[in-house]
Amino acid sequence: MPVEMGMWRIDGDSPQRLPSGLLPSEAQLEDFLERDPSLLGEKLLVIARQLRTPHGKLIDLLALDGDGNLHVLELKRDRTPREVVAQILDYGSWVTELGREKIAEIAAEHLDTELEQAFAEVFDAPLPDELNNEIQMTIVATELDDSSERIVTFLREFGVPVNAVFFSYFEDGERRYLGRSWLASGGQPTTARAASKRSKQAEWNGRDWFVTFGDDSTRSWEDARRYGFVSAGGGEWY
The share of the chain scoring above pLDDT 70, in percent, equals 80
What gap in Å lies between CA 73 and CA 91, rounded to an integer? Answer: 10
**Domain boundaries of the chain, sorted by first residue:** 14-204
Residue 219 has pLDDT above 60, yes or no: yes
What gap in Å lies between CA 27 and CA 75, rounded to an integer? Answer: 8
What gap in Å lies between CA 130 and CA 111, rounded to an integer? Answer: 20
Give the pLDDT mean for 38-50.
91
> Residues 157-196: pLDDT tens digits?
888 999 988 888 888 888 888 888 888 776 555 444 444 4
Give the pLDDT mean for 209-236.
72
Q: Which of 53-62, 194-203, 224-233 has the highest mean pLDDT?
A: 53-62
8 Å CB contact between 33 and 21: no
pLDDT at site 192: 43
Residue 68 has pLDDT above 70, yes or no: yes
pLDDT at site 195: 44
With helix as H, strand as E and coil as C, how does 113-177 read? CCHHHHHHHHHCCCCCCCCCCCEEEEEEECCCCHHHHHHHHHHHHCCCCEEEEEEEEEEECCEEE
What gap in Å lies between CA 134 and CA 1, rounded to an integer? Answer: 30
Residue 74 has pLDDT above 60, yes or no: yes
CATH of 14-204, one of 3.30.465.10, 3.40.50.1370, 3.40.50.300, 3.40.1350.10: 3.40.1350.10
Mean pLDDT (the chain) is 81
- Which residues, at least 6 apart from 14, have a Cβ–Cβ distance to it below 8 Å? none
The DSSP code for 136 is: E
> Residues 99-132: pLDDT tens digits?
999 999 999 999 988 999 999 999 999 999 899 9
What gap in Å lies between CA 109 and CA 119, rounded to an integer? Answer: 15
Start-to-end Cα distance in the chain: 50
Give the pLDDT mean for 41-69.
93
Q: How confident is the model at residue 6 (pLDDT cuts 50, 70, 90)?
A: confident
Give the range among 8-22, 102-116, 208-222 with minimum mean pLDDT: 208-222
8 Å CB contact between 91 and 80: no
